[in-house]
Amino acid sequence: MTRTEKLFLVLVGILGLFLHFRNLSGAIYLNEDEARFFSLLSSGQLLYLLGNPVYLFCGHSQTSVFYLTAAVGLADIGLAYLALRSFFGSRQSAIGALLYALMPFRVNYARTLFPSAYIDLFFLSALWFCVKGLREKRALPIVVSGALSACMIFSNYSSFGAYAGLAIAGLVRPNQAPYNRMTRKRFLTAFLSGSIALYAVLDLVLRKVEPGYSLIGKMHSFAVSTVMLTGQYFRTKFNPSRLTLIVPAIVLVLAVYGILRFLRKRSSESYFFVSVAAVGSLVFLGSWTCFYGFYPRHFTWLAVFIAAGAAVFFDRVISAKRGWRVAGTGLLCALVLLLFSQSYRITQETFTVEPIRQWLEKERIPRGQVLTFWWQINRFNDKDVSSLIPGQIYPYSSHVQKFLINWEAVYGAYRKGLCRYLITSGIGLRSTVGAEPILESAKPLAVWPHPYRTFRHRPYREMPAVPIRIYDLKDVFSDSNLKAVLDRAHARFNP
């Protein structure tokens, strides 16, 4: 590696550091799928073991886990370079690492608590160890690769496509050097041994963390729910006249068959590299997306392959004659600027509670007197903590639920002097908290827009959301406001 390439990689690291950590102070998660770091759920068990100790050590600060995820996303850039270096030259790998670092959809999920950054971490590490083991005819790197691949599964079950891509690519690799030094039986044995060992260790740790927790039971429950959802899909959505599944299934089978046949006749390392992405994505597309839908965050591990393809293209253009070299360099610079600008916009749309905290401090409102349904307004190791609004979930249709505030409990707490202020709204089902009759006439002290309604470059679930408002409970429970509520109810039922 030349000095210029080393400086180039340092520049890539600086850009990645800026895009991953900018504007994270006070960040909180906005989707229930990001809760795996704080609660031991049926999936993402490894994320809980990694993130929850950080969360507890930092005084129940969600922001601390955001910084952890950003650090993992930054480490992904270095691992992407190492993985690319296993197949390509130093210049191609450096260009690929630059494009990988700037990809907006990868940066987006590295700045959230979705498992994408961790899946990428384990996938790129597993890919590097897999190639190392095959080339050196050593079983230990393959075992490590299998264990890291299992880490992907226990970060999120949706990563089974990447797992299958690594396993199948290792089995159907070309029968020529440097990949023919290890038998397929030995590869499969080592790979599965690593996965099973990781499962055993993880199950033991989880039983220590939560007595009675059964990892195999959670996996079984998830598999059963998947089968039930599949059956529901066929009963309610499958339309044979539109061939919604028949055509994709035929295309999938033919594509996988063609790729496997093609790989057996080739020996170039690039074909092994491509087969991991092709087989993994096809396996995933042919199963998960048919029933759960298409979510871009399930495909961030493919970013390294997209970056590699673009890097090979630009390297060939830059290495051509002078005219092509100038044009290729200009096109690469334009692409880098475009990717950076898009990723920069994403960093501006990270929601933080700092404006709410600063307003409370400016108005000298004690946080211990504030009721909130979601927003984490406490600071690090803050003893003056806020309280959660008591509420209930009332189903108002067969598919939709709604959070409503338990006003009797709130009024009781207010009368006892336990709280004086209330902040509405939240995430998910809580995003409509505050759209209630008792608050229609009450004037809020301050209003902030809800991120669901303001973010344009950050994909979140399409749900109704009310603005974030803070009320003085003295105004909410005033005689004039309660009279206005009664008058509106009387007018509604007695037009």
Least confident of 103-117, 361-375, 397-411, 463-477: 397-411
In Å, how far from its chain's centre is CA 382? 28
474 closest CA partner among 427, 410, 388, 384: 410
Q: What is the SS3 string spanning 89-129?
A: CHHHHHHHHHHHHHCHHHHHHHCCCCCHHHHHHHHHHHHHH
Average pLDDT along the chain: 78
233 has a pLDDT exceeding 50: no
For residue range 315-333, what is the model confidence (pLDDT) as tens digits?
A: 888 887 777 788 888 888 9
Q: Write the DSSP symbol of residue 390.
A: P
The CA distance from 198 to 190, in Å, is 12
Name, in order, each residue with C-beta under 8 angstroms of 462's C-beta and a sequence gap of 6 or more: none
Q: How many residues does the chain have?
A: 495
CB 55 within 8 A of CB 64: yes
Strand 421-423 relative to strand 468-472, pairing: antiparallel
CA distance 426 to 448: 12
**pLDDT, position 362:** 92
Q: Give residue-wise pLDDT tens across range 334-350.
A: 989 988 998 898 888 87
Q: What is the pLDDT of residues 428-480, one digit of tens each?
A: 777 888 888 888 888 999 999 888 777 776 655 556 788 899 999 999 888 88
Phi, then psi, of 233 in degrees rounded to 5 = -60, -45
Q: Residues of 238-253 as b/e, b for ≥16 C-beta within 10 angstroms?
A: eeeeeeebeeeeeebe
Alpha helices, DSSP H, located in 265-406? 269-285, 288-292, 303-318, 322-348, 354-362
pLDDT at 23 over 60: yes
- Residue 371 β-bridge partners: 387, 422
pTM (2 d.p.): 0.81
Chain segment 253-288, per-residue pLDDT in tens: 444 544 454 444 444 555 566 666 655 655 555 444
The predicted pLDDT at position 74 comes to 95
Instruction: Compute how many other C-beta atoms are within 10 angstroms of the C-beta atom of residue 368.
Output: 15
pLDDT level of residue 151 (50, 70, 90 thresholds): very high
